[in-house]
Amino acid sequence: MDTKKLTDFTDILTCKYCNTVCSRKSEMSRHILTRKHTSRVNGSNLDIKNVTENKQHICCKCDKVYLTNGGLWKHLKKCKYEQSENIIIEKSSEDVTVLTSLVMELIKSNSDLQKQLVDVCKNNNNTINSNNNYNSNNKTFNLQFFLNEQCKDAMNISDFANSINLQLSDFESVGELGYVEGITKIMLDRLNSMDIYKRPIHCSDAKREIIYVKDDDKWEKEEANNPKLRYAIKTISFNNMKLMGLWSSTYPESMDGESHLNDKYMKLIKQSTGGNGEIGDSENKIIRRIVKDILIDKK
């Protein structure tokens, strides 16, 4: 029984002159250099060779030294319980410190993470809302698909203007209605007679007059001041003016200054050339009237 218990024995170093016990040679070396040891050694003219190795027994738990096996064995029975308890306390204290530090770090990390999540959620909500609006619009209408796919065979604006086959009735209509209303009627009559996907012009926003024009076989957003649409208006107006000669030859009396047809002829000429207003202002009015009728149905 005693043999099994006494397993943790070790050789130690003892300084007889200082009554000091060391469990390691390095510790004994440091002791030899101390003032206490050197003074005692010098006083008796002894050197460090007087340090001898003696058979001693040391507790592996608390480093206490015992000269007999029985003393160490009795101590181990008690020390094992107390040392184990102390170790638990020390480890528990250390664990609490570490755990506290970890908890504080975790709280800080969670706080930072929550802030990041809030920011991410805000950004995602904005993106989702934006995408939903965009997708919602796309569910009912896609402008690029409408123009480039559904209206890919549309007529060019220049071809449209020159394709209108004007009659004397159109010339007379401009004279009776006035330049703005007459030219507007000619253009809208022609546009309304066409398949919507063949039209050369479309408006996506009547209030802001956002117009898309087919020219050179491609759809483009009209530039400021609508130059392409104005070109079409001028072309139609010029072709209408060329009917003056046909009308006068159809009604020769119109050349007689005393004839009532001459008064009518003068009125037709005046309106066909722009009427009383400025041409630019008249074209603006024509454009505003046209965009209302060529507004894209996005439903």
pLDDT at residue 60 above 60? Answer: yes
Which residues lie across from 243 on neighbouring strands?
A: none
What values do phi and psi take at 41, rounded to 5?
A: -70, -45
Element housing 21 (H / E): strand 20-22
φ and ψ at residue 202, rounded to 5 degrees = -140, 150
* Total-model pTM: 0.53
Lowest pLDDT segment from 44-53, 78-87, 152-161, 246-255 = 44-53
Give the range among 35-39, 110-114, 124-128 with minimum mean pLDDT.
124-128
43-57, 130-144, 189-203: which is most confident: 189-203
CA distance 191 to 173: 17
Lowest mean pLDDT segment, chosen from 42-46, 147-151, 173-177, 276-280: 42-46
For 190-228, give one letter per residue: b (16+ CB within 10 A) or e.
bbeeeeeeebbbbbbebeebebbbbbeeebeebeeebeb
pLDDT single digits (tens) 200-235: 999 999 889 899 999 999 999 999 999 999 999 999
280, 180 contact by CB (below 8 A): no
Token output for 234:
């001028």
Contacts of 264 (CB under 8 A, 6+ apart): 175, 254
pLDDT at 55 over 90: no
